[in-house]
């Protein structure tokens, strides 16, 4: 099983970190130019340009790929399926135009010029709204093209919108909302190892922002404590050894943002010996 991942850039480190937390530890490091073995002898990680990963998967060089949805849509590959949103690398692909111009909707670009590094996505977007501009592919500095009269508008990636504002551009419409996804070639989607990798990665994502709460509770205060715990599917109740039935142990998974208030409430309800720990993985 080969997994293609970004070899550099803003997606590289978060991807390697996710694999490590999922238990797919890279045995010969993440700085090799071509590949790395993992602790699982059946899984190898390949390093490639983020934009090339969809083709790696589609052509069979890799079975799984981790890259942005925007890269997959731009590649236009047909035999690749999305398995999981990995919930990082979020950005938007937007149609933007000069703030002092007369472009207010996509329809205003009929017969005009749009510059972009994403010609496939851009043409598909305009086809969808029934507008036919001249789409010009550029390899960088897309934001400058309207100001040097190369284009009337652009389609480009934005995360915060700061770069657009600096270049006196405003968003006209959103073209695509993107984040990093796990993809598989269509013919291996049901492979047991693919499902295993997907489960490992999803367990890390499911644990994000969650905490494991443990406490001792007098048996006669159990209902009061249970009522104030915003648990994942309800708390787990266990007898305490040598507790003579007077106390029980209560375990629950709660959102990190609820921990402070929950501790206050359960302590008020009679809980003691309260312990909060992080969760590395959560298989649902």
Asked whether residue 283 is assigned to any structural domain, the reply reads no
Query: Per-residue confidence at 221, pLDDT binned at 50, 70, 90?
Result: very high
Least confident of 26-30, 51-55, 276-280: 26-30
Mean pLDDT, to the nearest integer, of 32-60? Answer: 92
Q: Which domain holds residue 131?
A: 91-178
Specify the number of domains making up the chain: 3
Whether 184 and 69 share a structural domain: yes
Pair (84, 188) in one structural domain: yes
Q: Which of 28-32, 158-162, 266-270 has the lowest mean pLDDT?
A: 28-32
Q: Which helix (H) or strand (E) holds 27?
A: none
User: For the residues 30-54, what does the mean pLDDT come to?
Assistant: 88
Mean pLDDT, rounded, for 200-205: 96
| Residues 98 and 239 placed together within one structural domain of the fold | no
pTM for the model:
0.86
CATH code: domain of residue 84:
3.40.190.10
Residues 62 and 197 in one domain: yes
**How is 167-235 classified by DSSP, letter by letter?**
TTEEEEEEEEEE-EEEEEEGGGTT-HHHHHHHHHHHHHHHHTTEEEEEEEEEGGGHHHHHHH---SSS-
H or E segment to which residue 125 belongs: helix 119-129
DSSP class of residue 271 equals -
Computed over every residue of the chain, the mean pLDDT equals 92
Contact (CB, 8 A) for 279 and 206: no
- 178, 195, 223: which is the final residue of a domain? 178
Do 173 and 106 lie in a common domain? yes
For residue range 108-164, what is the model confidence (pLDDT) as tens digits? 999 999 999 999 999 999 999 999 999 999 988 899 999 999 999 999 999 888 889
| CATH number of 267's domain | 3.30.70.120
Q: Is the pLDDT of residue 210 over 80?
A: yes
Per-residue model confidence (pLDDT) at position 243:
62
CB 137 within 8 A of CB 119: yes
- Quick: pLDDT tens for 58-90: 999 999 999 999 999 999 998 999 999 999 999
CB neighbours of 215 closer than 8 A, spacing ≥ 6? 225, 249, 250, 266, 271, 272, 273, 274, 275
Residue 96 lies in a domain: yes
Considering the domain boundaries, does residue 19 fall inside one?
A: yes
Per residue in 93-102, pLDDT (tens digit) is 999 999 988 9
Nearest to 169 by CA among 143, 206, 198: 143
Residue 18 lies in a domain: yes
State whether 218 and 271 are in the same domain.
Answer: yes
Angle at CA of residue 15, ends 92 and 174, nearest 5°: 5
Q: What percent of the chain has pLDDT over 70?
A: 96
């Amino acid at each position: 099983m080969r997994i293609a991942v970004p070899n550099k850039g803003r997606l590289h480190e978060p991807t390697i970190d996710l694999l490590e937390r999922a238990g797919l530890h890279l045995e010969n490091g993440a700085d090799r130019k071509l590949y790395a073995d993992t602790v699982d002898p059946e899984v190898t990680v390949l390093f490639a340009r983020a934009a090339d990963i969809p083709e790696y998967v589609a052509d069979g060089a890799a079975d799984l790929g981790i890259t942005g949805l925007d890269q997959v849509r731009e590649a236009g590959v047909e035999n690749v399926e999305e398995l999981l949103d990995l919930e990082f690398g979020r950005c938007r692909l937007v149609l933007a135009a000069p703030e002092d111009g007369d472009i207010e909707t996509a329809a205003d670009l009929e017969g005009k010029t749009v510059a972009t590094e994403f010609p496939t996505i851009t043409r598909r977007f305009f086809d969808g709204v029934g507008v036919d501009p001249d789409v010009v592919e550029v390899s960088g500095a897309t934001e400058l093209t309207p100001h040097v009269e190369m284009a009337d508008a652009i389609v480009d990636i934005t995360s915060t919108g700061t770069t657009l504002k600096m270049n006196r551009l405003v968003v006209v419409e959103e073209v695509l909302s993107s984040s990093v996804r796990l993809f598989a070639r269509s013919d291996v989607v049901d492979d047991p190892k693919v499902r295993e990798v997907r489960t490992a990665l999803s367990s890390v994502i499911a644990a994000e922002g969650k905490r494991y709460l443990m406490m001792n509770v007098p048996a006669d205060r159990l209902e009061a404590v249970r009522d104030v715990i915003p648990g994942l599917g309800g708390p787990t109740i266990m007898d305490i050894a040598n507790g003579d039935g007077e106390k029980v142990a209560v375990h629950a998974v709660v959102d990190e943002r609820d921990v402070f208030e929950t501790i206050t409430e359960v302590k008020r309800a009679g809980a003691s010996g309260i312990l909060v720990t992080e969760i590395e993985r959560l298989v649902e």
